[in-house]
Amino acid sequence: MDNFEFYNPVKIVFGKGTIAQLSSLVPANRKLLLTYGGGSIKQNGVYDQVKQALAGRTVFEFGGIEANPRYETLMKATQLAREKQVDMLLAVGGGSVLDGTKFIALAAGYQKGDPWDILAQHAAPEHALPLGCVMTLPATGSEANMFSVVSRESTHEKLAFAHPLAFPQFSIIDPETTYTLPERQAANGVVDAFAHVMEQYMTFPAHAPLQDRQAEALLATLIEAGPQILQQPRNYNLRATVCWCAAQALNGVIACGVPQDWTTHMIGHEITALYGLDHAQTLAVIMPAVWRHQLPGKAEKLAQYARRIWTISEGEDLASRAIDKTEAFFRSLGLKTRLSEYGIGADRFEEIAGRFERRGLRLGEHQAIGKKEVVEILNLCLQSPPK
């Protein structure tokens, strides 16, 4: 097991009716900027619950943060936060609203240059606005972590940052808010959370049996509950289970002391930036291809996963069969697993791979995935899909 530090100060307030607790979670004298997305919170009653809990407070609003939040939009919100001199942000929505608001929190106090540098140059702001969240889409884990992913429309870039100032002070997770999720978003959320676990698990054995079993608990639970939420969208306990899985999948716990491989996410962000696929749609395509490409190095862990999660113990090709099972799981949730199914061909593969090279990035748990390997992985995403 590798050395590690673990720090996660996010207060999670979980359960039915918890949005009302905003009245005590937000100090009375705060001047708030409430941020939200394209309007789902106005249709499903979440907005009304938030406003009711904050009645009598000074609350400015910024709506219209889009899925895969755009720097250009977030800078408008940053401007508003500065103009109104707000002293706290409240993000209400899915991962995009939360991520976008984390960026606003850091950008609002960043005076040293263009806030894009926080993403592109890893510039480290010294101050940020405090942030609270009401999470309505179990997927990213943004409610429980210090990560944020922002897209820049003008250059078709999608970049991430991690900064301790981006930890929410609190996150309210009321599973009832997720009843209104369209099936596609609910399925996306399950695949995203599943992929987060995998990026911290599917490497090589690292003498970390507890972290392995914690990861496997999340995988098994998502495989069990994921398809069921599509059948029973108003089943509270199923929704609660998926919400808690998503928060746990990327709150730092299962990353402790183990190697990680974020290749799937890194390539996926480029696909979203260039073609506009949903985040999870990219993951369902790329993850099986990364594993097939990296089979020798990941074989031992894939076999462990095959035995423990899919209870396959007979035969020799446990690793390949585990990959097939995973792909079938993604497809059972309605996601496609080939780029060709989205009408995407090989024409921009060199460009995508070249972006990593230009940023000096090598991917994989051994940094063994360079430009050539990225193109090879992308080519595997063009094979004909399984029957």
Q: Which residues would be at the binding site for ligand NZQ (CB under 6 A)?
A: 37-41, 44, 67-68, 93-97, 99, 136-137, 139-142, 145, 147-149, 177-178, 180-181, 185, 188, 192, 250, 265, 279
Name the token pair of 150: 């922002």
Does residue 156 come out as left (phi exceeding 0), alpha (psi in the -120 to 50 range) or beta? left
d(CA 22, CA 171): 10
Query: Which residue number, 95 or 288, has a Cβ lying nearer to ligand NZQ?
Result: 95
Q: How far is the CB of 196 from Zn ion (least distance, A)?
A: 6
Q: How far is the CB of 126 from ligand NZQ (least distance, A)?
A: 22
Helix extents (H) in the chain: 22-25, 40-43, 46-53, 71-83, 95-108, 116-120, 183-199, 209-231, 236-249, 263-275, 279-293, 295-309, 318-332, 349-358, 371-380
Q: How far is the CB of 36 from ligand NZQ (least distance, A)?
A: 6
Query: Which residue number, 94 or 125, has a Cβ lying nearer to Zn ion?
Result: 94
Q: How far is the CB of 33 from Zn ion (least distance, A)?
A: 26
Query: Which residue number, 92 or 322, has a Cβ lying nearer to ligand NZQ?
Result: 92
Name the token pair of 385: 């899909």
Block residue for tokens 């396959």: 312
For residue 37, the partner it binds in Zn ion, ligand NZQ, none, with Cβ less than 5 to 8 A by kind, is: ligand NZQ
Query: Which residue number, 95 or 168, has a Cβ lying nearer to Zn ion?
Result: 95
Query: CA of 243: how far to CAs of 141, 196, 197, 239, 369, in Å?
Result: 9, 14, 14, 6, 33
Q: What angle do CA 263, 269, 271 make, to 5 degrees?
A: 105
Query: Which residue number, 62 or 201, has a Cβ lying nearer to Zn ion?
Result: 201
Q: How far is the CB of 151 from ligand NZQ (least distance, A)?
A: 7
Please list the residues that pair with 177 across neighbouring strands.
none
Task: Say if CB 101 and CB 63 are below 8 A apart.
Answer: no
Name the token pair of 137: 């889409």
Three-class SS of residue 366? coil
Q: How far is the CB of 250 from ligand NZQ (least distance, A)?
A: 5
For residue 178, the partner it binds in Zn ion, ligand NZQ, none, with Cβ less than 5 to 8 A by kind, is: ligand NZQ
Size of the site for Zn ion (CB under 5 A): 1
Query: Which residue number, 147 or 167, has a Cβ lying nearer to ligand NZQ?
Result: 147
For residue 71, the partner it binds in Zn ion, ligand NZQ, none, with Cβ less than 5 to 8 A by kind, is: none
Q: How far is the CB of 320 from ligand NZQ (least distance, A)?
A: 26
Query: Which residue number, 93 or 132, has a Cβ lying nearer to ligand NZQ?
Result: 93
d(CA 159, CA 148): 8
For residue 79, the partner it binds in ligand NZQ, Zn ion, none, with Cβ less than 5 to 8 A by kind, is: none
Q: How far is the CB of 346 from ligand NZQ (least distance, A)?
A: 24
Three-class SS of residue 236? helix
Residue 219: phi, psi to the nearest 5?
Answer: -60, -50
Considering Cα of 255, then 257, then 258, then 264, what sign does the dihedral take? positive
Query: Which residue number, 30 or 158, has a Cβ lying nearer to Zn ion?
Result: 158
For residue 200, the partner it binds in ligand NZQ, Zn ion, none, with Cβ less than 5 to 8 A by kind, is: none
Task: Say if CB 218 and CB 248 are below 8 A apart.
Answer: yes
Query: Which residue number, 188 or 211, has a Cβ lying nearer to Zn ion?
Result: 188
Site mask for Zn ion (CB under 5 A), range 177-216, x = bound: ---------------x------------------------
Q: Is 278 in the site for Zn ion (CB under 5 A)?
A: no
Mark 6-33 as b/e (b = at least 16 C-beta within 10 Å).
Answer: eeeebebbbeeebbeebeebbeeebebb
Q: How far is the CB of 98 from ligand NZQ (least distance, A)?
A: 7
Dump the DSSP string for 252-265.
Answer: STTTTTS----HHH
Chain residues that interact with Zn ion, rule: CB under 5 A: 192
